[in-house]
Structure 1
Amino acid sequence: MMSRTSCGCMTLPSDAAFARSFSDALGIACTEARVRRFPDGELEVQWHPGAMPHTAVVVASLAATQTDSLHDRLMQLVFGIHQLKTAGVERCIGVVPYLGYARSDTKTAPTDMVGLQIVMRHLHYAGMDALLTVDVHTPAALHNAFTGSAWSVNAVPPMAKALYAHLPAQVPLSVCAPDVGAWKRARAWAGALSTPARGAVELAMVHKQRIRPDAVTHDAFTGDVEGRTVVVVDDMISTGGTMAQAVRTCYEHGAHAVWAAATHGLLVDPAPVRLAEVGVKGVLIADTIPDDRTVNTPLAERLHVVDVAPTCAEELSAVLPTGEL
């Protein structure tokens, strides 16, 4: 058993629920920051003035909330880490369940911005020594962008376990990738959902072409979904265009019922309405985004949220040397 006496969990207010689950799994104390916003828009992050731990695990998801923009959240994390380091914390490990700008990880033209590199530099300069996130868009890009140790937790096993309880045993199951980029994820989901009782899970894929950043068209479909329960899987749901089109396509090919499963449920408008309108049976997401974006929408009763904080705690314990925490 690793000693936890020199480690503490620190969190921004919006991430308190995730942080409590995470710290409970590790058996360490959790402290919540106080964030003040001044009339001119400037921010101040304050920690409790008590004794600081040797190692601080700082929990903050880089996603917009109902009260703060993504960029406000980034500055709160930067300020919070810097404050901890100046207060005597020796090592800061960031637990960032959703890593904003992770999709901006490569250049297609010389003048393109690589947002992931810029965000990682800010966090490194503030004093973050290591980073743990969940299902990052491109793990190799994260390792290239961050100066320090970085890990991406696989959320598929706990999410598949949670989803399995909602799937009827008597109906055959298929997992569908909404595009070529999600094919590897679909295979992982199919493996996680396969059991001796249910047997092998079939795979399907929708072939899409993106015509605008917020619009896609689907040209072809591969796989057998007729009469089956289908789970369409992706790493995130943003405006819901890709997922809604894939759900609709599965129904057009005879699916019995279609679920949507994605680690990061950004669910930016009009995603809740889009998914409800195509008749999605349920939407399964992880708790990597602080706010519930489906309140007072037709999707509210179909949303299922999986707590992946214990999985993150287990991963951090596994990758760090004995005594680090």
Structure 2
Amino acid sequence: MGRIKLFSLDVGADFAGRVAASLGEPVSRHEERQFDDGECKIRPLDDVEGADVFLVQSLYTDASSCVDQKLMRCLFFIGALRDAGAARVTAVIPYLCYARKERRTRLRDPLPSRYLASFLEVAGVDVVVTMDVHSLPAFENAFRCRTVHLVSYPLMIEVARMRLSADPGPLVVLSPDEGGIKRAEKFRLALGDQLGVPVSSAFVEKYRSGALLSGGTLIGEVKDATVIIVDDLLATGNTVARAVEAVTKGGARRILVLCAHGQFNRDAHTTMARLPVESIVVTNSLPQSQLQGNCEWVDCAPLIAECIRRLHSNGPVTELTI
């Protein structure tokens, strides 16, 4: 495989710079223009013929552009890289859009996660890398090309280890809904191994009908315990808030919240600031310039860089996915 070439959209320059610094490679130059009619042009300025190209860009909505605009630019960029002779194109998408709608729940429901996979493959992508996707089976089954699913829980384990090394216990890892029980269980086992102490489990019942949430029953014992709430995504914060309410009523002594991706939609920052929790930790898979109060982030760029390094050298990438 040829030399590494690392790209991102303009909006992803900060995170790509962090990845490049960890990787020891520069971010390659590109041109990105928007015309008066709203259409765009994007192309590599550096030579990519025969190169191993990595396009690093999370897909989300912010003040500068919506998720669909970022997606379209990435698709055009992948096509341009292919046309320019790239030997391999890997889309590194730490936060993958449309991954939460992976199954039909109503008559004639769409499956955007599957359509997204088709778009990326048709554009010419060879490998898709993401982190802590909402449904791993749906992600892996949607693509025909190679996929790499990174996990952030080793980063969060280190956060928990530093916070809990002197904690007298008991410790409880809680999933804020039934869908995240397997994720929380993996974290619980790893945390117990790291700390060398027993860690219990619990979860909170949650039911969703459209935009309405119900439930809130706590399953498990949390009285006088330190509770670590583990989830993949903090969007509006309502799911986390319901879980915090449940464990507070259950008598939890100390509460930490660890989420891979922090969207902080609507008034989530205000909601989180009001919660009786010690800290809320997310990664910087999404821009986190507005964090305040009890919210903080950990850097996942070194993890992304290590994945790129191993993919380029045909190393054991699987070790980063377990």
Please, what TM-score do these two structures have when normalized by structure 1?
Answer: 0.89
Q: Map of 1:225-236 to 2, 5 A cutoff?
A: 225-236=222-233
CA spacing shift, 1:47–1:265, aligned 2, 3 Å: same
**1:65 is matched with which residue?**
62
SS of corresponding position for 1:74:
helix
Gaps in structure 1 of 5+ consecutive residues: 295-299
**2:320 is matched with which residue?**
none
CA spacing shift, 1:63–1:48, aligned 2, 3 Å: same
Once the 2 structures are TM-superposed, how far is the Cα of residue 320 of structure 1 from its aligned partner?
6.2
Report if aligned partners of 1:260, 1:283 keep a CA contact under 8 Å in 2: yes
CA spacing shift, 1:220–1:110, aligned 2, 3 Å: closer
1:147 is aligned, of 121, 134, 144, to: 144
C-alpha separation between the residues in 2 aligned to 1:134 and 1:30?
21
Which range is displaced more, 69-78 or 53-62?
53-62
**1:242 is matched with which residue?**
239
**1:302 is matched with which residue?**
294
Is 1:47 matched up with 2:44? yes
2:307 is aligned, of 311, 315, 318, to: 315
Superposed CA deviations along residues 115-140 of structure 1, whole A, max 9, x for unmatched, are 01111111111111110100112222
Superposed CA deviations along residues 147-169 of structure 1, whole A, max 9, x for unmatched, are 21011101111122123223361
C-alpha separation between the residues in 1 aligned to 2:315 and 2:186?
33
C-alpha separation between the residues in 2 aligned to 1:58 and 1:316?
10
C-alpha separation between the residues in 1 aligned to 2:96 and 2:112?
11
Once the 2 structures are TM-superposed, how far is the Cα of residue 324 of structure 1 from its aligned partner?
12
2:257 is aligned, of 257, 260, 269, to: 260
CA spacing shift, 1:81–1:195, aligned 2, 3 Å: same
CA spacing shift, 1:51–1:136, aligned 2, 3 Å: closer
C-alpha separation between the residues in 1 aligned to 2:64 and 2:194?
47
Report if aligned partners of 1:132, 1:316 keep a CA contact under 8 Å in 2: no
Report if aligned partners of 2:165, 2:195 keep a CA contact under 8 Å in 1: no
**1:9 is matched with which residue?**
6
Once the 2 structures are TM-superposed, how far is the Cα of residue 219 of structure 1 from its aligned partner?
4.3
SS of corresponding position for 1:151:
strand
Superposed CA deviations along residues 169-226 of structure 1, whole A, max 9, x for unmatched, are 134121111111111111122122225755111211111222442x322242122222
**1:112 is matched with which residue?**
109
**1:179 is matched with which residue?**
177
Once the 2 structures are TM-superposed, how far is the Cα of residue 112 of structure 1 from its aligned partner?
1.4
C-alpha separation between the residues in 2 aligned to 1:161 and 1:115?
34
**1:88 is matched with which residue?**
85
CA spacing shift, 1:212–1:143, aligned 2, 3 Å: closer
Gaps in structure 2 of 5+ consecutive residues: 318-322
Is 1:188 matched up with 2:186? yes
C-alpha separation between the residues in 1 aligned to 2:221 and 2:204?
11
CA spacing shift, 1:324–1:232, aligned 2, 3 Å: closer
2:271 is aligned, of 265, 271, 274, to: 274
Once the 2 structures are TM-superposed, how far is the Cα of residue 291 of structure 1 from its aligned partner?
4.4
C-alpha separation between the residues in 2 aligned to 1:186 and 1:322?
31
Once the 2 structures are TM-superposed, how far is the Cα of residue 26 of structure 1 from its aligned partner?
3.4
Is 1:77 matched up with 2:49? no
C-alpha separation between the residues in 2 aligned to 1:37 and 1:171?
57
CA spacing shift, 1:109–1:217, aligned 2, 3 Å: closer
SS of corresponding position for 1:41:
coil
Report if aligned partners of 2:207, 2:215 keep a CA contact under 8 Å in 1: yes
C-alpha separation between the residues in 2 aligned to 1:324 and 1:45?
33
CA spacing shift, 1:197–1:95, aligned 2, 3 Å: closer
Once the 2 structures are TM-superposed, how far is the Cα of residue 52 of structure 1 from its aligned partner?
4.6
Q: Quick one: percent identity of the two aligned structures?
A: 29
Report if aligned partners of 1:209, 1:216 keep a CA contact under 8 Å in 2: yes
Once the 2 structures are TM-superposed, how far is the Cα of residue 314 of structure 1 from its aligned partner?
2.7
**1:202 is matched with which residue?**
200
Please, what TM-score do these two structures have when normalized by structure 2?
Answer: 0.89
SS of corresponding position for 1:205:
strand
